[in-house]
Amino acid sequence: MLTHTPFTAETRRQYLQKCFAVMEWLHDFEWRRPIYFRQPNFRERLRQQTAYREQLPALRDEYRAGVPMLPLSRCPYCQTLNYLSFDHYGLDGLWWRSDERWRNGAQQQLCPHFWTLSGAVKLAEAVAIVPFRSAPGPEVPFVVPSALREHPLQVVISQIQVGAHTAYPIAYFSETKPLTLANPFPEWSTEWAVWVQEHNRYEWARAPYLLFKEQADFDLAPWMAQGRVAWIAPGDPSFTLQQQVQTCPYLDLPGDQEFVLITNGIVSSINQKL
């Protein structure tokens, strides 16, 4: 934990530039393979493809190792501040990639009750054009009622800036583990449910992002009144847990409730994809 050295904005830019160059080359090669096949340097391209494929895991490790560990949430059971791998520099970071998990789970500082991370992002106007797909969620915080009904989970909502965007980490905590859901929901900006079970054991389940909207409830006040959802005020350096409905800054926020996908800088609703 102490050995972790997060990247700076500049080293992050360099890592991403290297990753994107390789990813774009591989994508282009696969896309145009029938054309390249007829060209004299095809064998050379094939060798390059092998080299880039072998290089990608190392690039991923380099990026993942640099992703900052940030205090995102506090546990309602033991009051521990939980530090998670999180790229807050921008949605162009590969942390946000939805089809592969470019996160640094091993170095996170989690209490025994942390279970999963969900979230929402209020998008600023411009979204970077990057060669991967992200699934940042809707623009306003929400909970998954089926999960809260199935288990005595506690949810904590907080706020953090991600580049120009305003993000809302939605952390789920549980006193009892392991636990599984009949209808798993995706981890933040991924296409799988990822749960931290007992003894820091990670468990994965398929959780299609396309079905997320049916699982979400944006009416947080009743859950808060029942003591199931707590919040941390934006910018609160003490990360104090609060439960009052009247003073909660996360209720009735302006923003779209559509779950979005971002592909090559284009934001689309998951409903448009269906």
For Zn ion, the binding residues (CB under 5 A) are: 75, 77-78, 80, 111, 113
- Beta-carbon contacts of 151 under 8 Å, excluding residues fewer than 6 positions away, are 174, 176, 179, 181
CA distances from 160 to 52, 90, 97, 202, 232 (A): 35, 11, 18, 25, 11
Packing angle, helices 9-36 and 42-66, rounded to 10: 160
Residue with smaller CB distance to Zn ion, 102 or 115: 115
| Angstrom distance (rounded) from CA 170 to CA 159 | 9
Long-range Cβ contact pairs of 265-270 (< 8 A, separation 24 or more)? 265/127, 265/128, 265/129, 265/130, 266/127, 267/123, 267/127, 270/209, 270/210, 270/212, 270/213
Least distance in angstroms from the C-beta of 101 to Zn ion: 23
- Which of 80, 243 has the CB closer to Zn ion? 80
Measured from the CB atom, the residue of 69 and 111 that comes closer to Zn ion is 111
Residue 77 Cβ, how far from Zn ion at the closest point, in Å? 4
Nearest distance from C-beta of residue 152 to Zn ion, angstroms: 14
CB of 80 to Zn ion, least distance (A): 5
Nearer to Zn ion, 85 or 98 (CB): 85
Shortest reach from residue 239's CB to Zn ion, in Å: 13
Residue 243 CB, nearest distance to Zn ion (Å)?
16
AA letter at 185: F
